[in-house]
C-alpha cells in the first residue's frame, strides 16, 4: 500500500467513530492486512527454501566425501564443482578447499577463478572473505613472483583483520626462501609489534628472527 493511503486512513480515524471507519474503509484495511500477511508468508517461505537448499547441498557434499574416502572418486570432482557454483557461503568454499587439498584440479587458472568467485560473489562476512584471500595467497605463493604475491596479500595488510599476521608471515617466509633476509625480518618484527597478531605466529616469527641473526 502507498504511504499516502496509510496517511489518509490515519486522518480518517480521527474524524470517524471506529465503527464507521471500519465500515467505510473495509477494503483498504483488508488489503493492508492481506499485503502484510503476504510479506510474512513470502519471508518465511524464502527462509524455508534457503534452509532446504542448504540441507541438500550439505548432503551432496558429505556424500561425495564419504565416497571419496571409500575409494570411489569417479564423480567427486564434478560434485564439488557443482557445489562451488551453487554459491553457498558455507559449502562452496569447503568444496574448493577439498579440491585443492586432494589435487583434483591442477590448473591454477581454474582454481583462481573459483577463489575470485567466492571472494567477490558470495557476500561473505568480512573475516571469512579475508580468510579466502589468505588461502588464495597461500595457494599461489609457489607460483607467483614478488609483486603478484604482494598484490594478493596487500588487502590483508592494509586492513587490520584476524588474518593480517598470517599474511605478513607468509610474505616473510617468501622472502626467506628468496634470500631477502632484511625484508623477512622486517615483516616478522611487524608481527611481534602488533598486539593483535596470532600468538603462535608471534612465537614462530621470534624463532625466525633469532635464527637469522644467529646465522
**Whether the Cβ atoms of residue 30 and residue 1 lie closer than 8 Å to each other:** no
What is the predicted pLDDT for the residue at 43?
Answer: 43
CATH architecture of structural domain 127-215: Alpha Horseshoe (1.25)
What is the predicted pLDDT for the residue at 25?
Answer: 45
Residue 115 C-alpha from the chain's centroid: 10
**Whether the Cβ atoms of residue 161 and residue 126 lie closer than 8 Å to each other:** yes
Per-residue pLDDT of the chain (215 residues; tens, 9 = 90+): 444 444 444 444 444 444 444 445 444 433 444 444 444 434 444 454 467 888 889 889 999 999 999 988 889 999 999 999 999 988 899 999 999 999 999 899 999 999 999 999 999 889 899 999 999 999 999 889 999 999 999 998 888 888 999 999 999 999 999 999 999 999 999 999 999 999 999 999 999 999 887 76
Domain residue ranges in the chain: 127-215
What is the predicted pLDDT for the residue at 54?
Answer: 85
What is the predicted pLDDT for the residue at 39?
Answer: 43
| H-helix segments, the chain | 3-15, 18-24, 26-69, 76-85, 91-101, 108-121, 126-140, 146-158, 164-177, 181-193, 199-214
The pTM of this model reads 0.73
Amino acid at each position: 500500500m502507498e504511504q499516502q493511503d496509510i496517511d489518509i486512513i490515519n486522518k480518517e480515524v480521527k474524524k470517524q467513530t471506529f465503527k464507521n471507519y471500519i465500515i467505510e474503509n473495509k477494503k483498504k484495511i483488508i488489503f493492508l492486512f492481506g499485503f502484510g500477511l503476504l510479506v510474512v508468508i513470502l519471508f518465511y517461505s524464502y527462509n524455508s527454501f534457503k534452509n532446504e537448499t542448504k540441507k541438500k547441498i550439505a548432503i551432496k557434499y558429505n556424500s561425495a566425501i564419504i565416497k571419496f574416502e571409500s575409494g570411489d572418486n569417479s564423480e567427486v570432482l564434478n560434485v564439488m564443482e557443482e557445489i562451488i557454483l551453487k554459491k553457498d557461503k558455507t559449502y562452496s568454499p569447503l568444496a574448493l578447499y577439498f579440491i585443492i587439498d586432494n589435487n583434483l584440479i591442477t590448473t591454477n587458472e581454474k582454481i583462481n577463478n573459483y577463489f575470485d568467485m567466492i571472494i567477490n560473489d558470495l557476500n561473505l562476512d568480512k573475516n571469512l572473505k579475508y580468510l579466502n584471500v589468505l588461502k588464495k595467497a597461500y595457494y599461489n605463493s609457489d607460483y607467483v613472483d614478488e609483486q603478484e604475491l604482494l598484490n594478493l596479500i596487500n588487502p590483508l595488510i592494509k586492513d587490520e583483520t584476524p588474518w593480517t599476521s598470517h599474511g605478513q608471515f607468509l610474505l616473510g617466509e617468501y622472502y626467506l626462501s628468496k634470500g631477502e633476509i632484511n625484508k623477512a625480518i622486517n615483516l616478522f618484527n611487524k608481527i611481534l609489534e602488533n598486539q593483535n597478531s596470532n600468538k603462535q605466529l608471534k612465537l614462530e616469527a621470534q624463532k625466525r628472527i633469532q635464527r637469522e641473526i644467529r646465522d
